Amino acid sequence: MPNDFSQHSRFYRRLMGWSLFCAFLSVAFAKPLIALARFALGSELYSYVVLIPLISIYLLWLKRNELLNGRVGPLSFTAIIPVLAGVGSLVAYEVMAIRGWTPTESYYLSITIGSFVSFVIAGFLFFFGRDITRTAAFAIGFLIFMVPLPTLFTDWLEEFLQHSSADAASALLSLSGATVFREGLRFHLPGIVIEVAKECSGIHSTLVLFVTSLLAGHLFLRSPWKKATLALAVVPLGIARNGFRIFTISMLCVHVGPAMIDSPIHHRGGPIFFTLSLVPFLALLFGLRKSEGRKTNLPLLAAEAPVKSA
């Protein structure tokens, strides 16, 4: 009992130290953190970012017993590795700024928030040691999704999803026997020409589903390769979902009227198709979980990880 008390007392002292460190760090990075909140709230692509810290805290809370009973090692100076990563990012940013580089808001936030997350991880490693950090690795590492992706990557991903979705829609139109002539991203249909724009790429839904897949894999699966399978399935699932959306709008324009291109199902129908894509996603999760020999009834899932959908 005295040993347990000593262990718990040591853990709470370290927790207090790390919490104070994060508080001071948040003050030091107040400008980019406030900019991130405004950027995320005003961005369709990164609206999920504001939830990431809350999810990380929740994941740490789920691991509270393991963390509390884990071995609190000596102060770990291996934290120097993420510290160097954070400092290196800031130094590189300052050097490029001195040389006249003017970053866009997304690049500015990618660098500064990436540095902030590196310091948070370094602080956790320093205060708790490698053993407890290993237990909390996913929860702490999940903070990386606070970092906006560089514009170069999002532009490439958006273009990839745009063309892939057009290919999927083309296949569905061919299978349906519709009269259509495809010209790149344009579909010439009876009475209307539909073009698959970048806004139709479904990049936001795909990113949200990818983050969800990592979280679901962590909570409900054991096998690393099955977690990877669930995450990787998001890409073809996102392409199929978006292709089906384009196909549906195309058929409505042909059989109901060209005015359907301006209907709510086009401009505000994204959540409907996203919800539909959850059906095969949950079926895959169910199948992967069942293959591990774990019970799949919903009460058990709720008992193991009580997660509420937004």
Domain ranges of the chain: 2-148, 153-304
Q: How far is CA 172 from CA 198, 228, 236, in A?
A: 20, 28, 15
What's residue 4's pLDDT?
62
Q: Which residue has the higher pLDDT, 146 or 293?
A: 146
Map tokens 């740490």 to a residue.
60
Structure token digits, residue 236: 């073809």
Q: Average pLDDT of 185-209? A: 87
Q: CB within 8 A of 13, min separation 6: which ones?
A: none
Q: CB within 8 A of 88, min separation 6: which ones?
A: none
Map tokens 């609206």 to a residue.
47
- pTM here is 0.83
Residue 229 has pLDDT above 90, yes or no: yes
Map tokens 């508080």 to a residue.
23
- The 8 Å CB, 24+ separation contacts for 252-256 are 253/189, 253/191, 253/192, 253/194, 254/178, 254/189, 254/190, 254/191, 254/192
Euclidean distance between CA atoms 86 and 103, whole angstroms:
18
What's residue 298's pLDDT?
41
* Per-chain mean pLDDT for the chain: 85
Dihedral pair phi/psi, residue 25, rounded to 5° = -65, -40
Q: Average pLDDT of 111-118? A: 94
Among 10-19, 62-71, 81-90, 107-116, the least confident range: 62-71
Q: Which residue has the higher pLDDT, 303 or 272?
A: 272
